[in-house]
Amino acid sequence: MAADTRRRVAVLGAGLIGIDLVDRVHRSAKLDLVLVAGRGQNSLGLHRVAELGYPTAAGGIGSVVEAGPFDVVFDATNADSHAEHWAALRPTGATLIDLTPTGLGTVVVPGVSPHYPVASRHLNLVSCGGQAAIPVLHAVSRHCAPTYVEVVATGAAASAGRATRRNLDQYIDTTSAAIRAFTGTEDVKVMVNLSPARPAPPFRVAITALADGFSPAHIRTSIAAIADTVRGYAPGFEVTSLAMGSGRISVAVQVTTSGRRLPHHAGSVDIINAAAVLLAEQSAAAL
Amino acid sequence: MDTTAHERPRVLLHDPTLRDGQHAVGHQLDAGQLRAYAIAANAAGVPVVEVGHGNGLGASSLQIGRAALDDATMLTTVRETLTSSRMGVFMAPGWGTAKDIAAAVRHGADIVRIAAHCTEADVTERHLDVVRELGAEAQGVLLMSHMAEPRKLAEQCALMVRFGAQAVGIMDSAGYYLPADVTERVAAIASAVDVPLIFHGHNNLGLAVANSLAAVDAGASVIDATARGFGAGAGNTQLEVLVAVLDRRGVSTGIGLREVLAAADIAAARVMKAPPSIDSTAVASGLAGVFSGFKRPVLEAARAGGVDPIDLFLALGERQVVAGQEDLITDVARRLKVATG
């Protein structure tokens, strides 16, 4: 039997995002799920992961360092804890893929920057809204220089866990900063809604750019192309409306799930987790 | 509260004329208008004057509407006029951030309301904490509260109290409630928390004052009301009417009737083009349970898309849209147009 060449992976955090990540890593032929670490014996998420038959530990980052070294660690905890996690993992040689909205590592949006950033072992995935909006905005800003960009992300209440809810300010700040970096537009506004509607509505991101002198045909073509690219890893990504005129480009994007365990509406979790696993697999290929 | 048997029960009237009223004028109130009404409300002894963009701190946007003035200008303008009234602001996490709260308190906000949709109180944890740390009064309110059962609202209010809210309550953002709905909900919340309870009504079904009275009878002690009912959609609970009604009820507000009537007249003359009215779309919007602030964007989208605004309100109600989802309005209008040919 050939030696196992899969990357040794740990998932830190057993909330909504962490549990879905566990499932995806398990299904990946390139990744070997070695540990899922949560905080405290009473974590419901950790119990669920254990029930699914995966190895768990309750000591958070301490458990990960102890069971290491790992090739890849996903941080699916919260923005406030992330810096400490990176400090602990940095000396171990692991690549840390941050799914919390810190913007501390190299910011990566696979739809825009398809090449794995070999030089960095600390990657950040902005936010679910950033993962959905930035490809579209990047396509737009190739053809014009928006003077203002606005992004409104609406997720179902059921798709946002406790950490997400506590990190709304960081979500807004990090997504705004990443949009500035990817588009060159200074004036950026990001807003987030959680919808209590039943049945839960799919994840939706409304994107508006104010710009002059653009060719609607070029923008339409570019957005269609980038949507195809994103669908390569997040098949539920869809541009549901595109309106252009009088100095304004308005795009609505909807993301539904492609994973097995996630409900249809939880496209927010889907798109960021799909991006995370893609990066982890690319890190294996980049060896 | 330190009421004795001889004192009349007290209710604090919280006046968001210069915040909720912004919805009626596309968030275009200017400094002269803010100043004129704030001076009048202060003179009338209105205890709290709330000011800001219609959706509160940080909400000025293409999505919800851009305000004529930025938050800092609105707040400093009103602050300068207030000698006895306290100044209130409103912020929903996701629209504004802790930075907006800090700036508001720096500009003299005494009371900061942190808002969440009816089942989402846990988004207020961080920001209620920020308000407390800054030393302002922290209040927690649930928007679109008709979408949740009384027990759920009570649980969510208790959560906000745990996060540090010094008063909590519900907003009838769509103007959907009947008085019995309010009684049931306020009573449920009253049995779950021991801080003052807030009720904020809208008048789509002509019941804002009656609902506010029901809230007081069920134990609410902070009632929102605006001059001439100036506010989103069909407007809010009418302040000067409520002062009179509560007086007849034997409830003290500390506000003089003549003074509040004068303030309302100034609002009518200076702040609004026309007082709010319960037009046909407002009735449909209330019945559909749609956020009152959607009125202007719905009318615009219906006109642009060639659909009946009442149909559009009903379609939005079916999708249970909440405040902040204005981007859905044109999409739903377009689908409606396709469906109806």
C-alpha Rg value of chain B to the nearest Å: 19
Phi, psi of A37 (to 5 degrees): -110, 130
Q: What is d(CA A134, CA A109) in angstroms, rounded to the nearest whole number?
A: 7
Residue A43: helix, strand or coil by DSSP? coil
> A42 Cβ partners below 8 Å, 6+ apart?
none
Over the stretch B280-333, which tens digit does the pLDDT of each residue have? 999 999 999 999 899 999 999 999 999 999 999 999 999 999 989 999 999 999
Residue B1 confidence (pLDDT): 46
Per-residue CA distances from A252 to A133, A199, B291, B317, B336 (Å): 9, 20, 21, 20, 17
Measured in degrees and rounded to the nearest 5, phi and psi for residue A239 equal -85, 115
- Nearest chain A alpha carbon to B100: A169
Task: Please calculate the CA angle A103-A220-A195 and round it to the nearest 5 degrees.
Answer: 50
Interchain proximity B144–A196, CB inside 8 Å: yes
Is A265 an interface residue toward B (CB < 8 Å)? no
Q: pLDDT class for A145, splitting at 50, 70, 90?
A: very high
| Mean pLDDT for chain B overall | 95
Contact call for A169 and B98, based on CB within 8 A: yes
Q: What percent of chain B has pLDDT over 90?
A: 95
Residue-wise pLDDT for B89-142, tens only, equals 999 999 999 999 999 999 999 999 999 999 999 999 999 999 999 999 999 999
Interface of A with B in 146-165 (CB under 8 A): 148, 150, 152, 154, 157, 162, 165
pLDDT (average), residues A156-185: 94
Confidence of residue B22 (pLDDT cuts 50, 70, 90): very high
What pLDDT, in 10s, does the model give residues B50-85?
A: 999 999 999 999 999 999 999 999 999 999 999 999
Contact in structure between A222 and A140 (CB atoms under 8 Å): yes
Which of A55, A64, A20, A63 is closest to A34 using CA atoms? A55
DSSP 8-state code for residue B306 = T
Interchain contact, A252 vs B147, CB within 8 Å? no
What residue spans define the domains of chain B? 12-271, 280-340
Q: What percent of chain A has pLDDT over 70?
A: 98
pLDDT top residue among B70 and A158: B70
Q: What is the CATH number of domain B280-340?
A: 1.10.8.60
> Looking at residues A208-232, what average pLDDT do you find?
97
pLDDT of residue A259: 62
What 3-state class would DSSP assign to A96? Answer: strand
- Report whether A42 contacts A104 (CB < 8 A): no
Residue A203's pLDDT band, with cuts at 50, 70 and 90, is: very high
Of the candidates B23, B27, B53, B127, the residue annotated as catalytic is B23
What does DSSP assign to residue A124?
Answer: E
Average pLDDT, chain A: 93
pLDDT of residue A51: 92
Q: How far is B339 from chain A (nearest CA, A)?
A: 17
Tokens of B86: 């306290």
Q: What Å distances lie between residue B210 and A256, B42, B113, B241, B242, CA to CA? A: 43, 26, 24, 11, 9
Q: Quote the crossing angle between the two packed helices B98-106 and B71-81, to the nearest 10°.
A: 30
User: Looking at residues B189-201, what average pLDDT do you find?
Assistant: 98
Summarize the confidence of residues B144-163 as an average pLDDT: 97
Q: Residue A221 has which token pair?
A: 């073509």
CA dist., res. B98 & res. B114, Å (int): 11
Tell whether A247 is within 8 A of chain B (Cβ): no
Report whether A6 contacts A30 (CB < 8 A).
yes
Label residue A119 by pLDDT band (50, 70, 90).
confident
Q: What is the pLDDT, as a whole number, of residue B8?
A: 76
Per-residue pLDDT tens over the stretch B30-43: 999 999 999 999 99
In angstroms, the CA B110 to CA B89 distance is: 8
pLDDT of residue B5 exceeding 80, the answer is no
For A254-284, the DSSP string reads: EE---SSSS-TT-HHHHHHHHHHHHHHHHHH
Cis peptide, bond prior to residue B179, ω within 30 of zero? no
Task: Write the pLDDT tens digit of every residue in A16-64.
Answer: 999 999 999 999 999 999 999 998 777 888 999 999 899 999 999 999 9
- Rounded to the nearest angstrom, the gap between the alpha carbon of residue B268 and the centroid of all alpha carbons in its chain is 19
Q: Which residue of B has its CA nearest to A149?
A: B62
Q: Where are the domains of chain A?
A: 7-126+270-285, 128-264
Chain centroid to Cα B341, Å, comes to 37
Sign of the CA dihedral running A217, A219, A220, A224: positive
CB-CB under 8 Å, A208 with B320: no
Number of CB pairs < 8 Å for A and B?
A: 88
Q: What is the per-residue pLDDT across A56-105, written as a single tens digit (0 to 9) for each? A: 999 999 999 999 899 999 999 999 999 999 999 999 999 999 999 999 99
pLDDT score for A114: 72
pLDDT at A159 over 50: yes
How far apart CA A7 and CA B181 sit, in angstroms, is 58
B200 annotated to bind ligand: yes
Q: For A7-126+270-285, give the CATH class.
A: alpha beta
Closest A-chain CA to B59: A191
Phi, psi of A270 (to 5 degrees): -60, -50
Say how far apart CA A171 and CA B330 lie, in whole Å.
26
Q: Is B12-271 in CATH node 3.20.20.70?
A: yes
State residue B182's pLDDT score: 98
CB-closest option in B59, B123, B334 to A165: B123
How many Å apart are CA B186 and CA B201, to the nearest integer? 13
Test A193 with B125 for CB contact under 8 angstroms: no
Does the predicted interface ipTM exceed a cut of 0.90? Answer: yes
CATH code for the domain defined by A128-264 = 3.30.360.10
